[in-house]
Chain A
Amino acid sequence: MRIVHLVKPLIRALVMVHIGWAALNYAHAQGAGVAGQVTDSIGNPVVGAHVALGGADVRASGHRTATTDSSGIFSFSGVPTGDYRMVVRKVGYADWGTTVSVGRNAVKLAVVLKGGVRVLDEVLVIDNHVERRKQEESLNVEVVSKDFVYRNLGGSLMESLERLPGVQTIGIGSGQSKPLIRGLGFNRVVVVDRGVKHEGQQWGSDHGLELDQFAVGEVELIKGAASFVYGSDAIGGAVDVKPEPVPAPHTRSVSVDLVGRSNNLGYGGSVRAGGRSDRWFVDARSTYRRYGDYRVPTDTVYVYDYAVALPHRRLRNTAGRETDLHFTAGYLGSRFNSILYLSNTFHKTGFFANAHGLEPRRVDAELHDRLARDILFPSQQVNHFKAISRNAIHVRAHHIEAELGFQRNFRQEHSPYVAHGYMPPIFPDTLGIPASLEREFDKQVYSLNVKDYMEVDRHQLTFGLNGELQHNRIGGWTFLVPAFDQSTVGAFAYDRYRLTDRLLLHGAVRFDHGNLRMHGYRDWFPSDVPGGGQAYLVRAAELHRRFNSLVWSVGINYEPLESLLLKANVGKSFRMPIAKELSADGVNYHYFSYERGNPSLSAEQSYQADVSAEWRAGGWEIQISPFYNYFPNYIYLNPTASFDHFYGAGNQVFEYQESRVLRYGGEVHVSRRVGRSLTAEVLGEYLYSRQLSGDKKGFSLPFSPPPSLVMGLSWAPDRKGSPYVSVDYRLAAAQNRIVPPEKKTDGYGVMALRAGVEATVGGMPIQVNMQVQNLLDTRYMEHTSFYRLIELPEMGRNVIFSLRIPVVNKQS
């Protein structure tokens, strides 16, 4: 009985995809017609809504589906006499359903859809919201499904998305990474998780994003400046991580994910269980992941000239573990819905033991090499807690959304005490700081977003308000960034104007105000001072800065042909300087750098022009998206030609400066479908950046990815659940345009293999995915990797197996 419950939605989905359209065109001799118009609550036609006609007692093949046309009209002809259940669905609206009695006469229906949240249901299989999202957004947007994430499952979410052109990562080890969009990262990319900006320690390159990649629904990537929607920091782009779809009405479901990795002996799993009545639902997920030291295709690495032997080719102390918990509950009404998300992620990993940052360290190799899974010193751990309440209400012409969030990011770095500079040789036990606590960052953030969507004639207006309050505290025996409090508030208005069916115009303005209050910090140990003698140095003075910013964006979407979509966007974006840029005054011993902030920095600004052309027909799909970007004052950490033996304890002075920066580049995506199941594609990305002023005039920017090309061939018959096999060859050029302290990186080619199948075992559908990354065990270095500076090669061959078992139990 249970099997029937499980298989039914699958069959239904299959039918909708393949037979739905056929059934629509199939002319029945007898019966009457059913037709109608779908409009939204203010009478505008809803285009592309999915209309399903059927009934619980009707066999699956009796199902008929239709999609509304540009006037919101749908029709079925030759419907046999009887009672039917009709359901109308459209992304962004609540489902609409009714019973239709078909007799001899034609049935006319007027359907009014109300705003709602997206629901997980079988109908989503043929949902085209991704294309529509791309069509209606003038920015360059990529939408990635959960399936994509599963097929490309990397050690972390960003690694799983790396195949997309224009997206790179700054990775450390095998389990953590940060996004880099068109070469910009850190605080220049906003990550939005369930509607609220994710706040961690974005500025650091040696740790990753605190997100559970199993708990991710869809991921939307905006390449290029998007400040007018996401506020400060979205100067390089945005990664909008959507939650998993809520369970369908009257269902209970359990799903299990299992993953195993060969390279780092990693294993992990995630279990989700949830259920929903008509309007109430609960949903919980728990994820556990553990991995050992990862392997590289070499026996010896050279930290400077110092040879470090790696028995079993394992990078000492790069193991880690992750534990994540999620709980979601909500109410989904026709006019009002509210969802509460609670989540906690914990991640602990080691740093490569022979070098802490760039600093070579001697280690007890025997101790480290005894176990591949233990996490010894130096190590880092981070705990990220979130509570987010998302609410939406539909009142007349308005659709109002509000998110209220609290998050706490608690991060620690542990290492045995090493006296650097003027630090006393023996760690005093009178400080109240554990001797192993090198750094600690404690961030608490309160967020509020309110958005009001409304439609007036041909205008789709959005008004929004964002507010954020941050408290940042520090700890540990080294100093990099002072404690600070920050509040920001922003308001925007965005108009999407549909001039004709083929032409959309966009215009937006946004105003932001930010307030930063830095706390003072004084060293806990005395240092030599220029006048002779010793003193406890003031590393950060109290500082109060305010920033105001007005940004704008205009765009156009034009579809001259059914198969051609053209987009253009011009805009200004901004970013408030961060505490580190304004107030750093400490030695980063891991980089041999003495980093000096600049309290007079102004808010970073950027002008960007984006063009995109997308053409698809006859099995071809071609997308070209060039961009041009100019920063009048890019905030850049400039390595100078001097050392400082007082404040900097003899380290090289790195100073924050502003320089004019020019960047351009783009992505190309060409794919060709051959026959019914073969697809060949080429994805290319190119980026050029140049500093036009300042000390490093003529140089590039740090972390500039080299041009790269992915050539892929995949075989995937167009049937749901059928197997797929694909091969990727990634070719990256050498990166010779570098800036201190970077190193030139040679080009490389790596191959990856992916395959998967969906099978039914004991009545349960099981999705199996397999990947072989770095198939040929190629030794190469990634220019944007954290470990690039000490010449550590990237991970060797890695076989990843993943298994998904979704169990959906429909209630009667």
Chain B
Amino acid sequence: MERIKIKHLFLAFGILSLALACSENNDGTADTEYPVIDASFTESFPQQCSVVKRGKMLVFRARFTDNVALGSFTVNVHNNFNHHSHTTEYGECADDPEEKTPVDPFTYNKSFDIPGAPRTYEAELEITIPDDVDPGDYHFEIRVVDQTGWQTLRGLSIKIQ
């Protein structure tokens, strides 16, 4: 009798624990969404396989959105002469046939806070490409982070001529 009672008690406890385990604990508050680098933004530049000229200004344009609040973004341009590639894009561009050794490659690396923690932000940035840098294949990396710390990145392949 005693044993049966205990058995039932255990089973009940077990079922309760399982029920607890299966019920989703929803806090409702935690932001679990990544910010977005809007691919449909028609004015965005550069795009995958864009070509830019030396001695000219590259005007970077992008639209970032987030469900709560944006934090900051960063832009990084570096050479891809060894074709190491960390593109995140579907489809590839035609690389220069030869891998080459960098002499004076162009690099750009800057980050910017997005003021006011908005949900949508259009970034515009003027990047001067000097006359004397090595032409060739480059990577153009854009990263955006929201106020929670979710990071989204996009790696584009571009060509400097």
Q: A650 and B111: CB pair below 8 A?
A: yes
> What is the distance, in angstroms, from A257's C-beta to the closest C-beta of chain B?
37
B147 an interface residue at 8 Å Cβ cutoff? yes
Please, could you name 26 A-B residue pairs with CB atoms under 8 Å apart, sorted by A? A303-B88, A305-B88, A306-B87, A360-B87, A362-B87, A416-B84, A418-B84, A426-B101, A561-B6, A613-B10, A615-B6, A624-B17, A639-B145, A639-B150, A640-B149, A642-B71, A645-B74, A650-B110, A652-B145, A666-B17, A668-B17, A696-B148, A707-B22, A736-B24, A737-B25, A741-B149
- B11-36 CB mask vs A (1 if < 8 Å, else 0) is 10110011011101101011010000
Q: B18 and A643: CB pair below 8 A?
A: no
Q: B14 and A670: CB pair below 8 A?
A: yes
> What is the distance, in angstroms, from A381's C-beta to the closest C-beta of chain B?
22
Q: A686 and B21: CB pair below 8 A?
A: yes
Interface of B with A (CB < 8 Å)? 2-3, 6-7, 10-11, 13-14, 17-18, 20-22, 24-25, 27, 29-30, 32, 71-76, 78-79, 81, 83-90, 101-102, 105, 107, 109-111, 113, 143, 145-151, 153-155
Q: A650 and B76: CB pair below 8 A?
A: yes
Q: A684 and B17: CB pair below 8 A?
A: yes
Name the one of B13, B21, B86, B102 contacting A360, with C-beta atoms under 8 angstroms.
Answer: B86
Cα distance A696–B154 in the bound complex, in angstroms: 25
Q: Which residues of B contact A303 (CB under 8 A)?
A: 88
Q: Which residues of B contact A422 (CB under 8 A)?
A: 107, 109
Q: B151 and A741: CB pair below 8 A?
A: yes
Return the 9 tightest CB-CB contacts between A and B, nearest first: A641-B71, A643-B111, A362-B85, A639-B149, A304-B88, A686-B21, A425-B102, A740-B149, A643-B74
- A606-635 CB mask vs B (1 if < 8 Å, else 0) is 000000010101101010101000000000
Q: Considering the complex, which residues of chain A in the window 547-600 have a beta carbon less than 8 Å from any beta carbon of chain B? A: 561, 563-564, 592
- A395-430 CB mask vs B (1 if < 8 Å, else 0) is 000000000000000000000101101100110000
Q: B151 and A740: CB pair below 8 A?
A: yes
Cα distance A741–B145 in the bound complex, in angstroms: 11
> What is the distance, in angstroms, from A570's C-beta to the closest C-beta of chain B?
20
Cα distance A618–B89 in the bound complex, in angstroms: 62
Q: Which residues of A contact B90 (CB under 8 A)?
A: 305-307
> What is the distance, in angstroms, from A720's C-beta to the closest C-beta of chain B?
30
Q: Which residues of B contact A733 (CB under 8 A)?
A: 21-22
Q: A421 and B149: CB pair below 8 A?
A: no
Cα distance A419–B20 in the bound complex, in angstroms: 50
List the A residue with the shortest CB-CB distance to B13. Answer: A624
Q: A707 and B85: CB pair below 8 A?
A: no
Residue among B17, B85, B88, B154 with the most chain A CB within 10 A? Answer: B17
A709 an interface residue at 8 Å Cβ cutoff? yes
Cα distance A698–B25 in the bound complex, in angstroms: 12
Cα distance A416–B73 in the bound complex, in angstroms: 29
A746 an interface residue at 8 Å Cβ cutoff? no
Please report the total number of A residues contacting B with Cβ < 8 Å. Answer: 63
Cα distance A639–B147 in the bound complex, in angstroms: 10
Interface of A with B (CB < 8 Å)? 303-307, 359-362, 416, 418-419, 421-422, 425-426, 528, 561, 563-564, 592, 613, 615, 617-618, 620, 622, 624, 626, 638-645, 649-652, 666, 668, 670, 684-686, 688, 690, 695-696, 698-700, 707, 709, 733, 736-738, 740-741, 744
> What is the distance, in angstroms, from A341's C-beta to the closest C-beta of chain B?
41
> What is the distance, in angstroms, from A656's C-beta to the closest C-beta of chain B?
14
Residue among B11, B21, B24 with the most chain A CB within 10 A? Answer: B21
Q: Which residues of B contact A639 (CB under 8 A)?
A: 145, 149-151
Q: Which residues of B contact A741 (CB under 8 A)?
A: 149-151
Q: Which residues of A contact B14 (CB under 8 A)?
A: 622, 624, 668, 670
Q: Which residues of A contact B102 (CB under 8 A)?
A: 425-426
Q: A738 and B32: CB pair below 8 A?
A: yes
List the A residue with the shortest CB-CB distance to B134. Answer: A425
> What is the distance, in angstroms, from B5's C-beta to the closest C-beta of chain A?
11
List the A residue with the shortest CB-CB distance to B80. Answer: A362
Q: Which residues of A contact B27 (CB under 8 A)?
A: 690, 698, 737
Cα distance A651–B146 in the bound complex, in angstroms: 14
New contact pairs (4) apart from A615-B7, A617-B7, A645-B74, CB-CB < 8 Å:
A421-B109, A649-B109, A684-B21, A698-B27
Q: B109 and A707: CB pair below 8 A?
A: no
Q: A650 and B74: CB pair below 8 A?
A: yes
Q: B17 and A686: CB pair below 8 A?
A: yes
Q: A306 and B88: CB pair below 8 A?
A: yes
Cα distance A685–B20 in the bound complex, in angstroms: 11
Cα distance A624–B6 in the bound complex, in angstroms: 13
Name the one of A563, A592, A686, A690 contacting B20, with C-beta atoms under 8 angstroms.
Answer: A686
Cα distance A617–B4 in the bound complex, in angstroms: 10
Q: Which residues of A contact B6 (CB under 8 A)?
A: 561, 563-564, 615
Name the one of B17, B21, B145 contacting A641, with C-beta atoms under 8 angstroms.
Answer: B145
Q: A643 and B143: CB pair below 8 A?
A: yes
Q: Which residues of A contact B79 (CB under 8 A)?
A: 425
